[in-house]
């Protein structure tokens, strides 16, 4: 076997592999013998079919399979040992492959086109300054959080008539033969439509153009589960409820923080502010990680074989994606690929390892979050572990690999953060939101 690499540029190369009978014939002969022992052909005793008959009937397919297996192993071994930064998959020269005469040829030459990433280094000392934000949460954030919690912990009370935006009006939509029970959240109505609801009581019937009822199409879908309704509807009111904010008392403290955690408003405020501050700290860390990734992408120069990758994407997706779609999304694909290369290089240099226990722990944390368990698991530890294991085993192992990659990426970023010294800047919440591109609606 002879393997040669011909680099036509920094990012493209061709790999030529020449095979002779010495490379594949022993494997072909072995498979023919195996076929002879297993074949069940008319006129021959089971397991006694002559090798010459197997050669005549199946020789070509056996040869093709053995050559392809030999070829695949040779390519994989060469690329692994050469440590080339191969991106995408090797793409065979199909014209050359299709020209092979499998009936008469003994020696074969195969050519693969390779896409390569250029060599690069990650030098943290040469990165520009990065800022980490220490968010200062105060009375405003406490009061905003308190208002939200009082609403969430409040109770729905039945009321006589609609008076406030936010009242939930239960009833039945009718139009001809269409009839559907539902509820209308009055805070989703247009101002004009809401005015028509004010003062209405149980048993009242309203008539309206349903397309003009809600402030946006989301309100229509929320109330009816459909977006295609139109025309004049009647709505018969059957009940009205209003959310009444929870009172600031011991019952409220226990619901929010847990039984007996605090016994006064002062203690409650102190603990709630700690939670708010911790939440904003996590948001700041997310922003820092994004900024570090952006800084590395902007400052570590990696050249990619763009045209090769575009063609590879089209071929590997087998007609499911067009050239126009590849072109449209290519910049994001290339950016993600460059980040993967940077991350993997850092991880390799730092000897980042992910153990099975790391994957299990992460999956269990996902389950805890899904169940809304943030402290003591209340004896559900075994259930959490079982659900996590079931999740990891589903989807033919893809779930496991997804979690593995998240853990791998998280560990690598944790290491990267130890290699930089960000400038710490104290800012208020509104300034942070502006920097992070977050709106109050979000």
**Residue 74: HSE in the Cβ half-sphere, 13 Å Cα cutoff:** 22
The enclosing H or E element of 12 equals: strand 12-19
Please name the residue that has the structure tokens 């309206």.
Answer: 208
State residue 442's pLDDT score.
44
Biggest alpha carbon–alpha carbon distance for the chain: 96
pLDDT of 214: 92
CB half-sphere exposure, 415, CA atoms < 13 A: 17
Q: Where in 149-213 does DSSP place strands (E)?
A: 155-158, 168-175, 178-185, 205-209
Indicate whether this model's pTM tops 0.85: no
Q: For domain 132-137+266-436, is the CATH number 2.60.40?
A: no
Query: How many angstroms separate the CA atoms of 175 and 233, rounded?
Result: 5
CB atoms within 10 A of CB 210: 19
3-state secondary structure of 203: coil
Single out the residue of 281, 289, 297, 278 nearest to residue 414, CA to CA.
Answer: 289
Residue 436 confidence (pLDDT): 79
Residue spans of the chain under pLDDT 50: 439, 441-442
For 345, half-sphere exposure in the C-beta direction (CA atoms, 13 angstrom radius) is 20
67, 101 Cβ separation under 8 angstroms: no
pLDDT value at residue 370: 78
Could you confirm whether domain 155-244 is CATH 3.10.50? yes
CATH level 3 topology of 2-116: Alpha-Beta Plaits (3.30.70)
How high is the pLDDT of residue 406? Answer: 94
Residues spanned by CATH 3.30.70.1050 within the chain? Answer: 2-116
pLDDT tens, 150-172?
988 888 889 999 998 889 999 99
Domain boundaries for CATH 3.10.50 within the chain: 155-244
Is the CB of residue 32 less than 8 Å from the CB of residue 55? yes
Q: How far apart are CA 101 and CA 19, in angstroms?
A: 14
Return the bridge partners of 161, or none: 201
CA distance 441 to 317: 38
DSSP H/E element including 312? helix 306-316
Q: Alpha-carbon Rg of the chain, whole angstroms?
A: 33
* CATH 1.10.3120 domain residues, the chain: 132-137+266-436
Q: Where are the alpha helices (DSSP H) in 380-422?
A: 381-393, 398-418
The count of residues in the chain is 442
Give 317's contacts (C-beta < 8 A, 6+ positions apart).
none
């Amino acid at each position: 076997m002879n393997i040669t690499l011909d680099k036509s540029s920094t990012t493209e190369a061709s790999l030529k592999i020449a095979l002779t009978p010495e490379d594949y014939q022993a494997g072909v002969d072995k498979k023919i013998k195996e076929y002879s022992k297993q074949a069940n052909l008319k006129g021959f005793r089971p397991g006694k079919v002559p090798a010459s008959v197997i050669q005549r009937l199946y020789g070509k397919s056996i040869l093709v399979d053995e050559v392809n297996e030999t070829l695949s192993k040779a390519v994989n071994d060469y690329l692994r040992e050469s440590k080339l930064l191969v991106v995408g998959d090797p793409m065979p020269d199909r014209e050359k492959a299709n020209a092979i005469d499998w009936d008469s040829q003994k020696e074969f030459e195969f050519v693969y086109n390779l896409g390569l990433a250029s060599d690069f280094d990650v030098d943290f000392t040469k990165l520009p300054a990065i800022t980490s934000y220490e968010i200062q949460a105060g009375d405003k954030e406490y009061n905003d959080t308190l208002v939200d919690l009082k609403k969430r912990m409040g109770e729905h009370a039945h009321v006589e008539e609609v008076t406030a935006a936010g009242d939930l009006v239960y009833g039945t939509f009718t139009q001809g033969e269409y009839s559907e029970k539902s509820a209308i959240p009055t805070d989703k109505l247009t101002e004009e439509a809401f005015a028509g609801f004010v003062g209405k009581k149980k048993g009242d019937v309203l008539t309206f153009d349903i397309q003009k009822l809600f402030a946006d199409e989301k309100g229509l879908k929320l109330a009816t589960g459909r977006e295609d309704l139109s025309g004049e509807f009647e709505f018969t009111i059957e009940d009205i409820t209003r959310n009444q904010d929870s009172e600031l008392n011991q019952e409220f403290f226990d619901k929010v923080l847990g039984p007996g955690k605090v016994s006064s408003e002062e203690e409650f405020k102190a603990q709630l502010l700690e939670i708010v501050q911790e939440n904003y700290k996590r948001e700041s860390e997310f922003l820092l990680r994004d900024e570090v990734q952006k800084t590395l992408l902007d400052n570590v120069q990696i050249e990619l074989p763009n045209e090769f990758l575009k063609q590879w994407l089209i071929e590997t997706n087998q007609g499911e994606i067009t050239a126009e779609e590849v072109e449209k999304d290519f910049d994001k694909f290339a950016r993600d690929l460059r980040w993967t290369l940077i991350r993997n290089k850092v991880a390799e240099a730092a000897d980042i390892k992910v153990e099975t226990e790391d994957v299990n722990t992460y999956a269990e944390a996902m389950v805890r979050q899904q169940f809304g368990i943030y402290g003591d698991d209340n004896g559900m530890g075994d259930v959490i572990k079982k659900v996590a294991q079931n999740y990891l085993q589903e989807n033919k192992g893809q779930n496991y690999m997804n979690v593995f990659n998240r853990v791998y990426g998280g560990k690598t970023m944790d290491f990267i953060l130890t290699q930089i010294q960000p400038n710490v800047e104290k800012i208020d919440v509104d300034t942070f939101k502006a920097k992070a591109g977050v709106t109050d609606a979000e």
